[in-house]
């Protein structure tokens, strides 16, 4: 939507639930209550919708997002559960626990929403409104806290409106959220590890598993800047950023309608956006980097990307992918 368009605020009744599902299906942005904080939802399988979500939050960083689902069957379509994950899900879902798990084969979550990682964060929220929207929509919904970047997480619909009015399509008002803290995040990618303390106490998790949780090096609101993760996706190929031409042997990652000199000899070519649209470019970024590997590119000339709007985060991720390793 455009910045001038109105944001509708509706009471969480059955009409609002179906309006939310319809809006998500059209690629819209819908804020809704969970038991922890209000989330800003987008269709997790719709890359451009996810890109617009980052843009609405402001200062977009492409931190990986939590995919919310209505039930365990839907969660298993996204991720692979080991024994610990099975036990945690059985004990604490629906509830304020997010599990970071290896992506399942054919996981439909857009690459942008997982920041190109091979893992995905999954949660079944324990809020009747959230669950009703997820059931009505029938696909996973990515939802960061529904605040502008750098602001505190919203626990009331009025907080969402204060931060995001005019930037999102719909706010489903379900009153105050009960927990008021974001979910606890545990990675089950090996020994279970606490990535973010939150609404579910660490002791409850450790008691259930009968073991202490490992702790990630940093614990803050965004504990693992995805670019810092050792597993963060970087292509095998080397990247040459801001390229004004294509050198022999290079593949081309293009942007915009005009191709640079030498484009015809590129060993492979993909465009982030032929029209120069940063939302489209963001949605394509991680999947195109992956595709370059599949195409066998060994060095990639990347055309300059403007730094406005989502361009800042796109350039940040490209710089990380280009860093020596």
**Please, what is the minimum distance in Å from the beta carbon of residue 24 to ligand TXA?**
14
Kindly tell me which residue out of 7, 18, 22, 63 binds ligand TXA, with binding defined by CB under 6 A: 63
Kindly tell me which residue out of 206, 222, 245, 312 binds ligand TXA, with binding defined by CB under 6 A: 222
Q: Does 39 bind ligand TXA (CB under 6 A)?
A: yes
Kindly tell me which residue out of 17, 50, 100, 107 binds ligand TXA, with binding defined by CB under 6 A: 100
DSSP string of 112-123, one letter each residue: GGGTT-SEEEEE
What sign does the CA torsion over 82, 137, 129, 178 have? positive
CA–CA separation, 140 and 45 (whole Å): 7
CA–CA separation, 282 and 315 (whole Å): 10
Binding mask 172-191 for ligand TXA (x = CB under 6 A): ----------xx-x------
What sign does the CA torsion over 20, 25, 31, 36 have? positive
CA–CA separation, 101 and 185 (whole Å): 11
Kindly tell me which residue out of 21, 66, 172, 303 binds ligand TXA, with binding defined by CB under 6 A: 66
Extended beta strands in 174-259, E state: 184-187, 193-196, 214-215, 238-240, 251-254
With CB under 5 to 8 Å by kind, the binding choice for 184 among ligand TXA, Mg ion, none is: none
CA–CA separation, 5 and 52 (whole Å): 14
| 143/234 with CB nearer ligand TXA | 143
Q: Does 120 bind ligand TXA (CB under 6 A)?
A: yes
CA–CA separation, 101 and 187 (whole Å): 6
**Please, what is the minimum distance in Å from the beta carbon of residue 103 to ligand TXA?**
9
Q: Does 98 bind ligand TXA (CB under 6 A)?
A: yes
The contact set with ligand TXA (CB under 6 A) reads 34, 36-37, 39, 63-66, 98, 100, 114, 117, 119-121, 123, 125, 143-145, 182-183, 185, 195-196, 222-224
């Amino acid at each position: 939507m455009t910045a001038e368009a109105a944001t509708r605020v509706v009471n969480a009744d059955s009409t609002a639930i179906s309006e939310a599902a319809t809006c998500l299906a059209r690629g819209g942005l819908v804020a809704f209550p969970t038991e922890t904080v209000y989330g800003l939802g987008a269709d997790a399988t719709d890359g451009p919708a996810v890109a617009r979500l980052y843009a609405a939050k402001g200062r977009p960083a492409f931190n990986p997002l939590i995919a919310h689902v209505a039930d365990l069957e839907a969660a298993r379509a996204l991720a692979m559960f080991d024994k610990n994950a099975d036990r945690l899900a059985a004990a604490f879902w629906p509830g304020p626990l997010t599990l970071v798990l290896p992506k399942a084969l054919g996981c439909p979550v857009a690459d942008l929403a997982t920041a190109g990682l091979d893992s995905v964060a999954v949660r079944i929220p324990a809020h009747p409104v959230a669950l009703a929207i997820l059931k009505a929509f029938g696909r996973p919904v990515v939802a960061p806290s529904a605040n502008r970047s750098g602001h505190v997480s919203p626990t009331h619909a009025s907080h969402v409106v204060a931060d995001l009015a005019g930037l999102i399509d719909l706010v489903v008002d379900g009153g105050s959220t009960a927990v008021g803290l974001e979910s606890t995040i545990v990675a089950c990618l090996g020994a279970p590890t606490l990535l973010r303390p939150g609404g579910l106490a660490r002791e409850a998790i450790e008691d259930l598993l009968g073991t202490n949780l490992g702790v990630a090096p940093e614990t803050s609101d965004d504990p693992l800047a995805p670019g810092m993760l050792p597993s963060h996706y970087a292509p095998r190929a080397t990247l040459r950023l801001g390229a004004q031409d294509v050198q022999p042997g290079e593949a081309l990652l293009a942007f915009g309608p005009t191709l640079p000199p030498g484009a015809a000899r590129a060993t492979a070519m993909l465009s982030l956006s032929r029209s120069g649209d940063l939302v489209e470019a963001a949605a394509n970024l991680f999947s195109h980097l992956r595709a370059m590997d599949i195409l066998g590119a060994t060095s990639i000339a990347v055309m300059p990307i403007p730094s406005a709007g989502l361009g800042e985060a796109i350039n940040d991720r490209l710089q990380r992918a280009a860093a020596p390793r």
